[in-house]
Amino acid sequence: MKLQNFINGAFCDPIQKDWIDNYNPSTGAVYGSIPNSSQADVAAAYKAAAGAFPSWSSTTVEERSQLLSKISNLITAKLAILAKAEAKDNGKPLSLATAIDIPRAAANFQFFANAITQFSSEAHESLGKNAINFTLRQPIGVVGCISPWNLPLYLFTWKIAPAIAAGNCVVAKPSEVTPLTAYLLGEICQEAGLPNGVLNIVHGLGKTTGQAIVEHPQIKAISFTGGTQTGAHIARVAAPMFKKLSLELGGKNPNIIFADCDYEKMLDTTVRSSFANQGQICLCGSRIFVEQSIYTKFKKDFIQKVSELKVGNPFSENTNVGALVSKEHLAKVKSYINTSEEQGARVLFGGKEVSVKGCENGYYLSPTIIEVSTNDCVLNQEEIFGPVVTIMPFSTEKEVLQYANNVKYGLSATLWTNNLNRSMLFSKQLQAGIVWVNTWLLRDLRTPFGGMKESGVGREGGNEALRFFTEPKNVCIQY
C-alpha cells in the first residue's frame, strides 16, 4: 500500500519520488510506504492553503459548521475501516481504536462544528469617552498542525477541526510511524466536499517535513503535540519568526492514592490509567504513590489485576495490551526497565518482551510494575511512555505533594480520596494543567487542555483552541 500526500484536494506523489517504509508493529512487517516529503512538498501544500484562504475565511460560520459535521458523520460511518487502520498502524487493540480513538476523532469535528457557532468576542464601552471597543477574532491564515503517533487520528483531528472551524487553512503532518488514518482523512474530506486546499496533509519525517512546516516563513502558527525535546526545538526555530505556538508535550503524571478512597473503583481505574494504549498516553499516571497504611494490600491487588491483562495481537477480541508502536520505541522502554536495579528499584511484575503466537516479530512488552525507593530516580523523573509504572508508599499529605510536584513535567495528576478538604487542597497545589479527582481521563471537550512546566505552553480545547487559531483585533470607535 503506497500512501500519497493530500494537496489542494488531490492525492499526489512526493515531488522527489522518495518513500519511507511503513511497519505493522503487531507483526514487525513492512506493509506499505509513505511519502518522504521534502521542503518542496511543504511549499506546494502551503501554496494550496494560501490559495484557498481568501475564500474559506469568508465562508459563513454555518457553512463551515455544516462541513465539519459532514466530516464527523463520515468518520462515524467509516468507524470500522478507520479503527482497523489505526490498530494495524499503531499496534493498539482494535477494541480500543473502535471504542475510543475513532469516536473521539468524529467528536472533535462535531464539537468544533457546534463550538464555532457559539464563539463570540468581547465589547468594552469606554464610558465618558464616547467610545466603544470590540474585539474582532479573525483567522490567522495558513497554520501548521503536527501530531504524534500514540493517538493518531484522535490528536490529528483535535488540531485540524478548530483550525478550519475558525476559518484557517491547514498544512498538517501526522507522525511518520502512524500515517494511515491521516491519509484516510484526506479521502473523507474529499467526500465531504471540503473545498480544495483548506486541509493539506504532507507525510514524512519530523526532522525534514515537520521542520519545513515549522520553518516556513508564511505559516504563522504551529500547533504541535509531541515530545518535550522536539517542542523545545520547535520553539527555538519558531520564536525568531514570532509565530504563535501551542505546544502539548510530555508528562510524568502522579497518581496519588489515599486510604480513604473508593478502593475498588481506584484499583480498576489505576490499571487503566497505567496501561491503556500500552501506557502510551501522555496522561497516563506513571508514578503511583500509595498511602502507607494500604500499600501492602494495594501492591498485592494491583499485581493480581495487572497479571490478568492479556498481551496479544491487537486484532484478537480479548487483547488488553497490544504492541508498542515501533522497534525503536520498544528498545527505549526496555532500556529504562533494565536500569531498575542500579537505581535501587525492583521489578515486581512484567518487564519482559512477550512472544505472541503468529506475531513473533511484533513489539510486545508485558505491563511492568516497578517498586522505587525514591522519587528522585530516573524511573520517576523521565517520561518512559510505555507500559511501565512505578509504585512507592508515602505517609503524609505534605510528603506526597512534594513527590508529585518534584518533576520537570506538569501535565496531569490523579488523586484518590473521599476527603473534600484534601481534594481542594491538592487541586490547588498540584502543579499540573489537569487534575482528576476520583477518576481518570474523563474528558469534556469544553475544558482547557494542556500542561504546565515542561509539559507545554498554551491550552487546547473549547474556546481556548478557537482563541489560539484566531488573531484578536481591537477596534475602537468614538461616536
Q: How far is the CB of 208 from ligand NDP (least distance, A)?
A: 8
Q: Which long-range contacts (CB under 8 A, 24 or more apart) does 369-374 make?
A: 369/302, 369/303, 369/306, 370/337, 370/340, 370/345, 370/346, 371/299, 371/345, 371/346, 372/343, 372/344, 372/345, 373/344, 373/345, 374/344
Q: Taking CB under 6 A as the rule, does residue 234 contact ligand NDP?
A: yes
Active site residue 248: yes
Q: How far is the CB of 231 from ligand NDP (least distance, A)?
A: 7
| CB crowding 2-30: b at 16 or more within 10 Å, else e | ebbbbbbbeeeebeeeebbebbbbbbbee
Active site residue 282: yes
Binding mask 355-374 for ligand NDP (x = CB under 6 A): --------------------
Listing DSSP states for 115-151 in one string gives: HHHH----EEEETTTTEEEEEEEEE-SEEEEE--SSS
Q: Taking CB under 6 A as the rule, does residue 465 contact ligand NDP?
A: no
Q: How far is the CB of 433 from ligand NDP (least distance, A)?
A: 8
State whether residue 7 is helix, strand or coil. Answer: strand
The only residue of 15, 61, 132, 205 in contact with ligand NDP, by rule CB under 6 A: 205
**CB distance 168 to 195 below 8 Å:** no
* List 86, 145, 189, 248, catalytic entry: 248
Does an H or E element contain 457, and which? Answer: strand 456-457
* List 282, 284, 359, 377, catalytic entry: 282
Q: Which one of 28-36, 57-65, 93-101, 199-207 is the stretch in contact with ligand NDP (CB under 6 A)?
A: 199-207
140-159: contacts with ligand NDP (CB under 6 A): 146-150
Q: How far is the CB of 328 from ligand NDP (least distance, A)?
A: 10
Amino acid letter, 408: K
Q: What stretches of 313-371 show up as alpha helix (H) in DSSP?
A: 327-337
Parallel, antiparallel, or unpaired for β 368-371 and 346-349? antiparallel
Q: How far is the CB of 280 from ligand NDP (least distance, A)?
A: 7
Residue number with CB closer to ligand NDP (7 or 267) = 7
Binding mask 240-279 for ligand NDP (x = CB under 6 A): --------xxxx----------------------------
Q: Taking CB under 6 A as the rule, does residue 162 contact ligand NDP?
A: no
Q: Which residues bind ligand NDP (CB under 6 A)?
A: 146-150, 173, 175-177, 205-207, 210-211, 214, 225-227, 230, 233-234, 248-251, 282, 383, 385, 411, 451, 455-456
Q: What residues are annotated to the active site?
A: 248, 282
